[in-house]
Structure 1
Amino acid sequence: MQKSACNGATADDGDRLSKLPNDLLLNILERVDTLDAIRTCILSKRMLKLPTMLSRFFLSVSSIPGHHLKPPRIFSQREGLATNCAVAHVTDNILRIRSPDITITKLRIRFVLVKLDSLTIAKSVAHAMATQKIDAAEFEIVTLKRYDLCSSDDLLHFANQFNYLFDACPHAFAGLTRLWLENMRFGKLDIPNILSTCKLLEYLHLTDCDSGIHSVLQVEHTQLVELEIEYGKFRRVELISLPKLQRLTYNNWFSYEDPMYFGFLPQLSKMNLIKTAIRLDKTIELSQLLANVPSVGDLHLDFRSEKIWVLPECPELLKPVLNKLHHVNLDNLPEGCDLAWTMFILEAAPSLNELCITVWDHWCAMMTNKEFRKKYGYCNKADVKWKPCAPDFKHKNLAKLIIYGFQPDENFMQYIRCVVEHAINITEISLYDRKVCGRCGDLDPEIKDKVCPSTYPRTAEERKRITEELDLASHAMVHFRS
């Protein structure tokens, strides 16, 4: 018996999945979160045993029906308790009944920091680590309150809750390869204690965590490959010895001095620095900040459409630290400001292969209230002062220039000509319109009126005219991208 033609399926289609071979079914089930996989298996007697054969597990508060939240996460008390209870129950059951002969290649659990449920999860994972082989294990621990609703007492309370869990189940944390914490104000020795216990840790992500306002965080670890720090109130983060660290992200530091100190980091190759700077924030000199990490090959600087917080420096100072730089991304440069200052990186990085800049006043991410901006020291737009040290220098390795937010005005046109004049082997210039943000459509009408309409060329005739106005040796290198 057939269904209607619009469905294009037969009545027994629902059983086709369970008729697939086990290895193919397991491959499919391990690509979705584990709770969805279990619900699928319940539909067929033949598939009921498959959850015990899974080698990858992803259990998350956001995989409960009705939850599609991603960080930053927001939970009501009721939602958090209900979802956490389900995650704890499934974690405990599935880890105890699965076959220990099958290696767990990845175990990832995202849960809310609630005492009884958290203990259940950590004890279940500790037992699995002791009785089964687990290649990689990850905890993402979130709180019932989002940061902007947390008082200082809340942050201390969440840190105390975590410390209780940590002390109760040290073996679970000792086996972790990835850990993500949020909204916690630790004691001075707590984070070093976490790092010394989590000896296998390869990835650490701290969101709105610190050891007190204006505290100093010192980090040492033999296995850590990636470190992400978002917000927090550290005066300074000192990376003392991280011999395997390759990737570093620091988002919005709370300091009026250099935010970081780099000790022994011989493998650091990718660095992301993100900052909404105000008037009092120190302008960073890359020659000093990166003096001990000349291995960086990929540098991403995000200015959040506000003050430019790096100082253009002469190449003699910068070449020793930027000599291995291959990729640079200068993100969210404020609209209307002269772009010529960015050339200082080209002068100081002879190995640079790709330069990407994004020019964008991202209004829904910016503080727009005039009184607030004045009170807290936000800056008005201002050109960065820079004079080329060697106007006749030639760069031999830059192959690609990528511009997001291109507008056919003299600022962009002159900048492209300047780059091409000095980068003698450039082969590709990719020009994009402004980036699109769905939330910007909900802006206050007064803010919308400030947004200048895009003049990005859309017709073939407009693009041809602009390419001719650039007056480059080869028109073929210019690409207008969608």
Structure 2
Amino acid sequence: MKNKSGRRRRNLNATQKATCDEAAASNVIEDRFSNLPNDLLLNILERVDTLDAIRTCILSKQLLKLPTMLSRFYLTFSRKQVFRTNRAVAHVADNILGTRSPKVTISELKIRFVLLLDVSLTIGRSVARAMATQKVGAAEFEIVTKKHHGLCSSADLLQFAKQFNDLFGACPRAFAGLTSLWLQNMRFGELDIPNILSTCKRLEYLRLTRCDSGFHSVLQVEHDQLVEIEVDQGKFQRVELICLPKLQRLTYDNWFSSEYPLYFGFVPQLSKLSLIKTGIRSDKTLELSQLLANVPSIGDLHLDFGSEKIWILRECPKLLTPVLNKLQHVNLDHLPEGCDLAWTMFILEAAPSLKELCITVWDHWCIMITNKELRKKYCFCEKADVKWKPYAPDFKHKNLAKLTIYGFSNPMTIL
């Protein structure tokens, strides 16, 4: 019994000693971290989300002052997390932005939040105060609606737009200072989007996901600072880029119109264009020579066909060369299987400066409707080859440096 008791005491002492050693080691590590210079600590903390940085600073009294000194302010959780953290985001924005020294510049501010009026107003007013009292560099809002797009009715879209307009009207200074804005699932009035753009004078990036002004509405865009626009799956009849002197990149994903979806006005710097469309029988076949007649500056062209109908027309290179003369990079994605790649020669013939061509031939089962009845109901085409006879059988391209073709058992790259 005595030996057993002695062993128990020794084991207990050993356990206690190990625990004490671990605690001491933890304190040493914490002390080492806390004793780092503020500049280094801030550099480390600014590499993580601001909420995680605050949790770290709570561990030590010496670190508690650091959150108000951060120059980068990130509250950008995933869609699943953003619903759980929405009130915490508002609380952190209100407390941290409200207690910062006006002398500390905010170089970057990014906030993703759910459009719930009380929480949204807290965030909007906090950012507005920061805009008014401090220097703020890049500032970004991504506004998520409480319903997923697949569950949204027309009434929901109208309601979400109204909630956004209420927030926008209550916090104009916050939006006036934004450089990036992403809106989702909203159906605006005819003048709402132009009003947003006229207020957001610093805006450089705009993304509208499932946003519009009603079926067959026309969106006219004018802005002095916009550099990039993305429009995803709205119900616009047409998007008209009236005057955008700094626009460089445009993405249009699955337009609703059966006519030409885009009109290009004054866009002298537009160099990258991405068009994504899962085509059906009624969709208009676009002529690039007509669509791009006013934008001969395109240097990077991305066309994604969603493994369905080819919705661009094969044209005579003589018609296309004036608009594709500066084209250097082309990506043709999700061409339907069985499509003869010879038809792509018209792009090579029309783009003498082309350096890189990437082609993906793929019937992507994850994005395609395969049921025959559903394909008939939604007017999907039967798969057919696109025939093309090159204008110059002995054609040679002098600048193409890289050709990549995906869609076989192994991708093929020719350099």
Superposed pair shares fold, TM > 0.5: yes
Contact 1:323–1:351 at 8 Å: present in 2 too? Answer: yes
Q: State the alpha-carbon separation in 2 of the partners of residues 316 and 17 from structure 1.
A: 66
Is residue 27 of structure 1 aligned with residue 8 of structure 2?
no
Give the CA deviation at 1:363. 0.7
Deviations 1:290-347 (A, max 9, x none): 0000000000001111111111111001000000000000011122321111111100
Counterpart residue number, 2:112 = 110
* Residue-by-residue CA offset, 1:49-79 (whole Å, 9 max, x unaligned): 111110001113x2xxxxx43xxxx68xxx8
Match of 2:249 in 1: 247
Counterpart position of 2:74 = 58
Deviation at 1:405?
A: 2.2
Q: Is the 8 A contact 2:115 2:143 kept in 1?
A: yes
Q: Which moved more, 1:151-160 or 1:369-378?
A: 369-378
Give the equivalent residue in structure 2 for 1:319: 321
2:387 aligned counterpart, secondary structure: coil
1:142 corresponds in structure 2 to 144
Q: Which amino acid aligns with 1:116?
A: D
Asked whether the 8 Å contact 1:111–1:142 carries over to 2, the reply is: yes
Instruction: Please say if residues 298 and 327 of structure 1, whose CA atoms lie closer than 8 Å, have aligned partners that are also in contact.
Output: yes
Does residue 287 in structure 1 map to residue 303 in structure 2?
no
| Length, aligned pairs only | 395
- Opposite residue 46 of structure 2, the aligned amino acid is E
User: How is 1:351-390 mapped onto 2 (pairs within 5 angstroms)?
Assistant: 351-390=353-392
CA distance in 1 between counterparts of 2:326 and 2:116 reads 46
Query: 1:219 maps to which residue?
Result: 221
What amino acid sits opposite 1:46 in the alignment? Q
Helix, strand or coil at the partner of 1:172: helix
Check whether the contact 1:181–1:205 (CA below 8 A) recurs between aligned residues: yes
Q: Show the counterpart of 1:41.
A: 57
1:431 equivalenced with 2:405 (yes/no): no
Q: Which range moved further: 30-39 or 257-266?
A: 30-39
> What per-residue deviation string (whole Å, max 9, x for no partner) do you get for residues 163-205 of structure 1?
1111111111111111000000000000001011111110000
Residues 15-414 of structure 1 correspond to what in structure 2 (within 5 A)?
15-60=31-76, 62=77, 68-69=78-79, 80=83, 82-407=84-409
Moved more, 310-319 or 362-371: 362-371
After superposition, give the CA deviation of every residue in 1:413-470 in whole Å (9 maximum; x if it has no partner). xxxxxxxxxxxxxxxxx727xxxxxxxxxxxxxxxxxxxxxxxxxxxxxxxxxxxxxx
Within 5 A, what are the aligned runs for 1:392-471?
392-407=394-409, 431=412
Task: With the length of structure 1 as denominator, give the TM-score of the two structures.
Answer: 0.79
Structure exhibiting the larger radius of gyration computed from Cα positions? 2
| 1: CA distance, partners of 2:332 / 2:36 | 49
| 1:396 Cα deviation after fit | 0.6
Instruction: Please give the secondary structure, in 1, of the residue aligned with 2:281.
Output: coil
Deviation at 1:83, TM superposition (A): 2.4
Structure 2 alignment gaps of length 5 or more = 1-16
Tell me how far 1:18 sits from its aligned partner.
2.6
Kindly state the Cα deviation for residue 119 of structure 1 after the two structures are TM-superposed. Answer: 0.7
Tell me the distance in 2 between the aligned counterparts of 1:205 and 1:16.
Answer: 44
Q: Structure 2 vs 1, CA of residues 47 and 286 (structure 1 numbering), >3 Å: closer, same or farther?
A: same
Alignment partners' CA distance in 2, 1:307 and 1:43? 58
SS in structure 2 at match of 1:396: coil
Q: Which amino acid aligns with 1:285?
A: E
Q: Secondary structure at the match of 2:61?
A: coil
In the TM superposition, residue 239 of structure 1 has moved relative to its aligned partner by 0.5
- Aligned-residue identity in percent: 75
- Between stretches 306-315 and 264-273, larger displacement belongs to 306-315
Q: CA deviation at 1:86?
A: 1.1
CA 1:123–1:387: 2 relative to 1, 3 Å: same
CA deviation after TM superposition for structure 1 residue 47, in Å: 1.4
